[in-house]
Structure 1
Amino acid sequence: HVWVTDLQTGQPVSGRNLTLYSEQGVSLGTAVSDNNGFAQFDYNPTNDFLEGATVVSGQPGQAGFGIGSSIWDEGIRPWEFDVPASSGDEVDTLTYIYTDRPIYRPGDTVHFKGIVRNTNYGRYTQPNVTNLDLRLGSFNFFGGEPFERTLPVQVGPDGSFSGEYQLPADLALGTYQFYVQSSTVEAFRQFTVAEYRTPEFLVNMTPDAPEQLRGESVTVALSAEYFFGGPATDLPVEWTVYEEAYQPTPSSGPFYSFGDAGGFLFEDPGFFGGFGGGGAFGSYLINGNGRTDENGRLLIELPADLLQDVDEGSRIITVEANVLDLSEFPVSSRARVVLHAAETYVGIQPDDFIGRAGSEAIVNLQTLDWNGRSVPSQPVEVVFYRREWVPNRTQDFGVYYTRWDTVDTEVARASVTTNAQGQGAASFTPEEGGTFIAVATVTDAGGREQFSSTTIWVADSGQIGWQIDPRDKSMTLTPDNTSYAPGDTARVLIQSPFTEPVRAWLTIERGQLLEQRVITVNGSSDVLEIPITAAMSPNAFVTVTAIKGVTDGRDRYPEMRLGIAELPVSTEQQALTVTLT
């Protein structure tokens, strides 16, 4: 799909003769742009993979010459908008395979089952496949003889198959995989072959309390006991502590943010800040070691200042320990402790994530205890800030990038006491558009504070200083909700750098194009309304490509900005009701 616009005016151009070329310069077809500037090529890439397709209009040096390439995507690739994407075509059939265990010994029998479905970009139907060649192969990362077997399986009328395979007694240890991979069918399932042995003792870890206040010391008791009875004494123990953010879950009711969802404590992570990160249990804190005593016990004591260098708010700490037997075979266990910022939580939720200058913006409040139950009559302080983004060109390890600093200016404040259901509300009227952060703080009887935040984006007819890098070609699309249902209307704020009306190419897609049209983006905070249909379930992706032509006496060159946003859509219409009798 192609959109043709005039560089001078930014308007769509009809009747242009276009030629599609491969990466090697081979002509692949022609098309003519319609009244919207749209054109479509019937093109099947080699190996179902889009490789550097280029579209050309006219000849160099002549009027109407233009060129565009699918690889001119620096700064506007889908993953840069946190959107998954693939340049390959979707396989016709997807197979889910699972085994009865994740780990086996040589000589064991592996029982497997597979479920086959035809795919159509989020739609799954009964397959037309009756037979498959299921392959079993090894991963030989460190050399060795490759292992490969083919297991013919028959797919039943319900689209499933099952079987078993006895592993050779002399099979090499390592990782193995069932797979089916062709141009039309894809399936994978890994398992491990190892000479494992059952442990001789059991390790349990029990904290003094599963929930405490942040700033209190934490004690976790470890005990090791042999299966035949008796304590596992004088064994070395290695332990590690991890931490991650925590939010309570209300027992019922709508979604509220019980943490810093609005990014009030935002700090630019730097160019390499998005790489790495924590593991399955969060970020590493500390580690230590010890030995079990004559009762097979070890007390792991963590200091009260354990989280002194960690962000504000409630956290979960995970204490993981390995107890080593005489052959240094580890037996593991872990315990988790919630460290609450205060005795009471306040949640915050805007009535509408997208507001308008001059209109009241409302945030709803909910106070809870540690168990997610409502706490009535709690005083809450709500502060509204207007956020400005300040770009600074800097470098990390010799790589230049734009670091974003924030300037938050208080614009309103409200004191609220929640009602008998722990609910309340606060509001303000923004005088101008932009990004606003609402921060709600509750203080418990001990003087400890817990705060939560949310963002409100406010549209305006004037220029708004969004977080837009002039060196970048991207812009942000902000949906007004986190999920939708068929029949809803999604409102999407277009955070455009252009103050004047510009033409834009709107596409709604999920693997394939569902809808496209030319729209006009009016100013830097236009709101796009998109009716949600059942065809968009389970999700759809909205892309807006805005083109600004040359402005006399001000901008000598045309400009382009592209934004992508995901709209999650309820799958209730596709849900099954399963009844066990």
Structure 2
Amino acid sequence: MTTEAALAVRRLGSSQPVPLTVAWDETGQNVVITPTVRLALDARYLFTVAETARAADGGGMTDGYSWSFRTVGEPSTHNLVPAPATVQAEFSSVFKAAFVSPMAAETVLNRIIIEPDPPEQAEWWVSYDGRTFGFAGLKPSTEYQVHFLPGMEDVWGNVISGERQYSFTTAGLRPYLYIRDKGAPALVSQQGPQRLYLTMANVPRVHLSLYQLTPEQFSLRYTDVNAEPVNGELLRQWTVAPGLAQDTPGIRYFLLRLAGGEPLPTGFYRVVVDSPDHPAASSTQDTLDFFVATTNQIIKSSASQSLIWATDLVTGEPVAGLPIRLFDQGMKLLATGQTDSSGLVTFEELPPLESYRESRIALAGEADGDYRGLAYSHYSYELYPNGVGIDTDFLYQTGQPLVYLYSDRPVYRPGQPVAFKGIMRIDNDMAYELPGPGSVVATVRYFGQDISRQVLRLSATGSFTGSLTLPADALPGTYTLFVRPMGSAATIGNLAFSVAAYQKPTFSVTLHNEQPDRLQGDNGTVTVQADYYAGGSLNLAEVTWHLDASEQPFLPPEPYRDYSFWAGEGRPGYWRWRWRGRYVYPTMLAFGSAVTNEQGQAILDIPIRLEQFNADQLLTLQVNVTDFAGRTVTSRAVLRAHQSELYPGVRPESYVVAVASPVGLDLVTLDMAGQPLPEQALRVELFRVERHSVRTFDEFGRAYWETTSEEVLVGE
């Protein structure tokens, strides 16, 4: 009996087999079974392989095999959001229709009719599996009618012949009220408009309470996250009507004034907003602490220093002669000073910060009640040094020891002595001072096990030396030397070295490459020289080599680093704007073998073939030389292979220009070594890149976005 005859598909409860076609692959191990008639929808079937099936060599099966499956059901919706005949409990703008099987999107999207029409900007989306369709664009407090027209098909061509319709009602917007652009703390100009901007919806009335705070009450909220806020002295309460329509979000601003209508003087304040129409709703309550000032201050602090810069809030000019008081986060006075003609004041030798979480507070003014400016060392309005490429260490403390370590060599054999030396300094904010008399503990560890521990005394110059002999049975791997001050558990330096069962080579291999820059299509040579360390040349040695290529765009010398030299599209001598941030694995270009002559030399012919690449290549030549005893020594050389003899570079005068405005381009041509090539004729073409995104469908009717780029010549 053939294997094909042992295959069967039957509907459960039926004895009639489904007619099948069978197609084997070239291995004879995989088979594709296709019914020749359409299977019934939403039905269970059983696939069986009888034990009579035979392999090509005649071997049989000990047992048969069976597997049951269910076919897809009639296409229909099984989940609608919002559900039919419902009123939303909480507003959502999302509509979703989920089907029991993957649907052909082009037959669905134009057959779902929603009344009233969704807004034009609402765009339908389709889930990856093609079962769910939806959009975001429902309006609040609206009754909708949804019609599913006949003619929708699943990906197998099964059609929904009937029409379905249902209705639902969306909920109104949840009342909300919050203060926009809240800072921590917010800064308000004493000379400018003192406005409070609120974002809200479905809040007929807004109640405002204005409080005066002391510096201690104000700073507590930003220096102790667990502290209970204290409102301070109540200055004024009032109620306003925003005048927004139902279910219409909006922004309104209100002037912050004293009870008599006067502008707020400099000082510390808190405003609390809520809605008397929704007194229990947390979404309609908000609080803002703010400082009314005449100057803007920036503070920069290290562990023992602080620098403050003060400028006028209106003119932006530095404020000279401004008294500054510096406090810790508990509002304890640390120092006082006065800004110079540049608006700067520096405080030195401050009590060191014990934690990076601690902050310092700078107040402008001579005494309590005189508040002209404020700055917190921990508040930078989302501007951080790391954001502009400046490395910072908030855990750094001044006056801490550090050590530089080195050993007599990086690798040792078991049983060999290891010698090391360390130099200690006290790091006082990049001023490195000699340590006092003392000792360090030096520990060598291997996978958590201490191999050696020594106490070493510091010299008058802050250095120390140590040594140890590795055990004869020391395991190969990486060993680490840790150093800590005597009496401290903090490691201040470490050094890794390797232990390996290696054999010292008896000969050396040198590669002579007189032309490191090569042009595409050239054939160059590299000379291999093998010599014994004891003297004499190594002749008749076997030489094997291979040449690997890895992408390396042309790198110009420093004066031209802000020019772009990428050739693009594999066209040497052309430039175009495009960044390619992909990694390309090295490719083997060539390999070969040779034998050294009586002088220990072998001349290797290196082909430079870059036809398969779109960019310059860094070529790595690896040469292995093996002597008569079977010992191998490896050496490498690096060559730069260029697509072109010259490189045009371009640099725009500005990367952003207004429409219809001219833009200047600086051009330069360099040779392969990066040296300028004068009097070169260049043709410049300017292209506009247009990107087009089109929603399309795969073979199963699932929608996805396909983006293409088109380059349009606009000038030359």
What TM-score, normalized to structure 2?
Answer: 0.40
Choose between structure 1 and 2: higher strand proportion: 1
Q: Which has the larger radius of gyration?
A: 2
Normalised to the residue count of structure 1, the TM-score between the two structures is: 0.47
